[in-house]
Amino acid sequence: MKTHQYPVDLTDEQIEEFGNELEAIRNEVFDSRGDRDRAYILKVIKTQRTMAVSSRFVIYLSLFFIPAWGHALATWPLALTIMGLGVFALGIAKILENMEIAHNVLHAQWDWMKDPEIQSNTWEWDTMSPSDRWMHSHNVVHHTWTNVLEKDLDVGYGIMRVTPMQKWKPAYLLQPIYFILLMLLFEEGVAIHEQAIDDHLKGKNKLKDFTPLLKRIGYKIWRQVAKDYIAWPLAAALVAIPISFYVPFSPLLVFGMVAGANAVANLIRNIWAFTIIFCGHFPAGAHNFTLEQVEGETRGRWYLRQMLGSCNIEGSKLFHILSGNLSHQIEHHLFPDMCSNRYKEVAPRVRALADRYSIPYNSASLFRQFGTTWLNNLRLAFPGGGEPYEGSQSQATPS
Amino acid sequence: MRQPTQPEPGASPSIWSRLSTITDYFAWPLRTSHYLELVNPLWTTHKLQARVVKVWDETKDARTLTLRPGLNWRGHRAGQHVRVGIPANGKHYTRTYTISSPPEREDDCFTITVKAIDKGTISHHIVRNIKVGDYLPIGLPQGDFYLPDAQPIQPLFITAGSGITPAFSMINSLIAQGRLPDTHHIHYAPHEFDVVLGKELKAMDRYNDRYHLHLIYSREGDDPSRNRFSAAQLDALCPDWKDRDVYACGPPSLLEAIEQCMAEAGCSRRLHVERFRAPFPEVPADAVGGRVRFAQSDVEADGDSDTPLLKVAEAAGMNPPHGCRMGICHTCNTTLVSGCVRDLRTGEVLNEAGSIVQTCICAAAGDCELDL
């Protein structure tokens, strides 16, 4: 019997059976977690911390090669090369922290270890968004309501039209610009990605209704700024002051170089995170859903929706780690709290299951996934592109 | 003895804590300590760790670990215990062990002696798998089972099995201070080869005139039942036991027998007892479990009358804060929102909303709701 409205040719019973098979995979993996997994996350955390602190000292090191020092190796090309290495490593460290470590810890993937140092409810991450705020908008809203219009704030992030089902309005003409801006300022974008702020822009609430929330986000942003743009540059500049009596360079230059280096590292992280994350649900072939479609959704149908709405990226082992295993977006959405090192093991099984039930399994290269995301963004800036969706009854009536 | 870096209440913050407030700006959202850990895990302040510097097999199923604690450690009093975090099968477990070495030890290390107990996954893991060079998270020394500093007393130690550890630490401490009073020590073990720290005990007995050791092998001889603890046995081994301060540590059955014996002799005040595991009194037959609701997590589960609420929560897929799992550390404290719970150690029933509930030793007594 087929009573559901999902775009697959399966009976209700088949969908439940499909769900049960996924559940079996999940249980099998969860039961087999052990020392190997703990060793993995401890190694990643140690590597990340070592990289983060040493890359900052490599950036400092490059300051000793500014031409003003006058020694044989003191040239701009060498100084900038060393600084570039430090910046690159810092960018990678931030990517590792945000994606493979924090994103997954905050998903409670490692809570089973009961290690008081690695718990979703106490972890704070190296980005401007406070972790508990993000956990709400991401774990609760996005992962429950994945790709459901009017529910999942991540469908277009409130500023973009990522599916023709969203009704066009003139503001979307600018969305290629938003696309680039969000890529460059992804960290800031995530920090203010809040239902309350979205509502405020639509005039649904007053600023003072969510002042405590803004203060909280503000404090997190201040500490992030204080670290990258005050503490580390200022320490270098303070050391540079006495030196500048003997070596003709300005402490301000030193401050600017270190702050600039950190800014570029943050930028690298922003662009990378944006690229990977936009490939999760926006490439060609990803489905979106309406509230009517998901009404009375069962566990099996929930699995089906996660699968239809998510897209994988193919790549090497290193690529998967640097993407926080979000390159296994399908597996991540099916099993959000499975520890990330296991996604690559279950991916072939999930794919085989999808083939057996003739459910599309959207997996392709980064080039294809990001390319179609970008083309999609350009196309949907203009009206049309597919069947619009007028909004559900329940939402259309004033609440 | 090293000073703790946490300032005493009222004292001005130390230079280190002021300095780390500044350096934490560089380490945010972590702390400076997280990066010091990369250099040496013993320098951390966000958690206290110890390095395993030596493992020594006492018997076929008991092992002594020598631990070098991190900078935030403060010395213990002989007889106190410490919480130790043990990773096993990828998971983190917390267990409490008595420190078996005296505080007078000169190398800043301390030892714990662990006996693999039946069904004790963690004690087996410690005895079999922990190796030199491992780092274990530890707590600070706790417990009120130690010798008084001031008055000269004549102690009688009664210990069994791994209950030897606090007595061993106390006696060694007195010897190290050169003020060991006339001391009797009755120790029970199944066989001679089962005596934890046996070699050291015999050496102490040989070199200290005032230390009198009585080893009793409870499963040897023609009639092992004669080897059990009794007042008659006490009279034979240590005739003046009624004048002594008794320090006892061992399994619940032994402690019960000693408590009864001392009560009959009217010397209960002189008895000091250390329990490894708080014995739970019989849950009354008419006790009922109930529906347990965890308000913050919005989880509901059925809890029966003798399953600790912590276990109920864990079985329901939650991971509430917890530590010792035996009612000592209060990590698991939470607030009773409504309903009724029973303290499994005392049988006391808590039914006042707002009461502090230790989830690891309280069970449902009817329906209840916790702020977890």
Place of tokens 């039209």: A161
> Is the CA virtual torsion B308, B310, B313, B315 positive or negative?
negative
First vs last C-alpha separation in chain A: 35
B91: contact with A, CB 8 A cutoff: yes
Interface test with B, best of A27, A96, A117, A230 (most B CBs within 10 A): A117
Last residue of a domain, one of B274, B304, B324: B274
The verdict on residue B148 lying in a domain is no
Instruction: At A213, give phi and psi (nearest 5°).
Output: -60, -45
pLDDT tens for each residue of A150-181? 888 888 888 899 999 888 999 999 999 999 99
The verdict on residue B285 lying in a domain is no
The closest CB to that of A49, out of B28, B34, B137, belongs to B34
pLDDT tier at B4, thresholds 50, 70, 90: very low
Counts for chain A of helices (H) and strands (E), in that order: 19, 2
Record the tokens describing residue A19, joined without a space.
Answer: 């769900």
Dist. CA A122–CA B319, nearest whole Å:
12
Strand, helix or coil at A285? coil
Mean pLDDT of chain B, nearest integer:
86
Residue B297 and residue B184 share a domain: no
Measure B35 CA to nearest chain A CA, in Å. Answer: 7
Would you say A79 and A86 are in contact if contact means Cβ atoms under 8 Å apart? Answer: no
pLDDT tier at B290, thresholds 50, 70, 90: confident
Pick from A332, A345, A343: which is nearest to A303 by CA?
A: A332
pLDDT at A319: 96
CA dihedral A354, A355, A358, A359 (to 10 degrees): 30
- Residue A330: CB atoms within 10 Å: 25
Lowest mean pLDDT among A62-71, B33-42, B227-236: B227-236
- The answer to whether the Cβ–Cβ distance between A35 and B90 falls below 8 Å is yes
Last residue of a domain, one of B137, B168, B194: B137
The verdict on residue B175 lying in a domain is yes
Residue B25 and residue B133 share a domain: yes
List the domain range (segments joined by +) for residue B341: 290-370
Of A119 and B286, more confident:
A119
Does position B151 have pLDDT exceeding 80, yes or no?
A: no
pLDDT tens for each residue of A194-225? 878 878 888 888 888 889 889 999 999 999 99
pLDDT tier at B119, thresholds 50, 70, 90: low
pLDDT tens for each residue of A357-388? 999 999 999 999 999 999 999 999 999 877 77
Instruction: Please report, for the domain that includes residue B319, its CATH number.
Output: 3.10.20.30
Measure A322 CA to nearest chain B CA, in Å. Answer: 20
Would you say B197 and B113 are in contact if contact means Cβ atoms under 8 Å apart? Answer: yes
- The answer to whether the Cβ–Cβ distance between A37 and B90 falls below 8 Å is yes
Residue B229 and residue B302 share a domain: no
The verdict on residue B221 lying in a domain is yes
The verdict on residue B9 lying in a domain is no
Mean pLDDT of chain A, nearest integer:
91
Counts for chain B of helices (H) and strands (E), in that order: 8, 17
- Pairing of β B245-249 and β B299-303: unpaired
Residue B114 and residue B23 share a domain: yes
Last residue of a domain, one of B221, B243, B274: B274
The verdict on residue B48 lying in a domain is yes
pLDDT at A315: 94
pLDDT tens for each residue of B307-323? 899 999 988 888 888 76
Residue B335 and residue B243 share a domain: no
Dist. CA B132–CA B138, nearest whole Å:
16
Instruction: Please report, for the domain that includes residue B54, its CATH number.
Output: 2.40.30.10
Residue B133 and residue B19 share a domain: yes
Dist. CA A146–CA A142, nearest whole Å:
5
- The answer to whether the Cβ–Cβ distance between A116 and B89 falls below 8 Å is no
Residue B133 and residue B24 share a domain: yes
Residue B252 and residue B207 share a domain: yes
pLDDT at B328: 64
Residue B256 and residue B313 share a domain: no
Residue B192 and residue B165 share a domain: yes
> Could you tell me which residues of chain A have a Cβ less than 8 Å from any Cβ in chain B?
33-38, 46, 49-50, 53, 111-117, 119, 124-126, 223-224, 226-227, 230-232, 235
Q: Which residues pair with B61 in a beta bridge?
A: none
Place of tokens 């945000």: A98
Pick from B21, B18, B48, B47: which is nearest to B32 by CA?
A: B21
Judge residue A203's burial from the number of C-beta atoms within 10 Å of its C-beta, 0-12 exposed, 13-18 middle, 19 or more buried. Answer: exposed
The verdict on residue B36 lying in a domain is yes
pLDDT at A396: 37
Q: What is the CA radius of gyration of chain B?
A: 23
Lowest mean pLDDT among A162-176, B3-17, B139-153, B183-197: B3-17
- The answer to whether the Cβ–Cβ distance between B26 and A50 falls below 8 Å is no
- The answer to whether the Cβ–Cβ distance between B89 and A49 falls below 8 Å is no
What percent of chain B clears pLDDT 70, i.e. is strictly above it? 91
Of B44 and A389, more confident:
B44
Residue B220 and residue B181 share a domain: yes
Instruction: Please report, for the domain that includes residue B262, its CATH number.
Output: 3.40.50.80
Does position A399 have pLDDT exceeding 50, yes or no?
A: no
B38: contact with A, CB 8 A cutoff: yes
Buried b (16+ CB within 10 A) or exposed e, A357-373: bebebbbbebebbbebb
- Total domains in the fold of chain B: 3
Q: Where are the domains of chain A?
A: 12-32+134-208+275-393
Judge residue A74's burial from the number of C-beta atoms within 10 Å of its C-beta, 0-12 exposed, 13-18 middle, 19 or more buried. Answer: middle
Residue A113 identity (one-letter amino acid): M
Tell me the C-alpha to C-alpha distance, in Å, between residue B118 and each of A160, B84, B123.
Answer: 62, 19, 9
What are the start-end ranges of the E strands in B49-140? 49-59, 62-69, 81-88, 91-98, 110-115, 135-137
The verdict on residue B282 lying in a domain is no
Of A388 and A305, more confident:
A305
First vs last C-alpha separation in chain B: 39
Of A93 and B8, more confident:
A93
| HEC sequence for A151-188 | CCCCCHHHCCCCCCCCCCCHHHHHHHHHHHHHHHCHHH
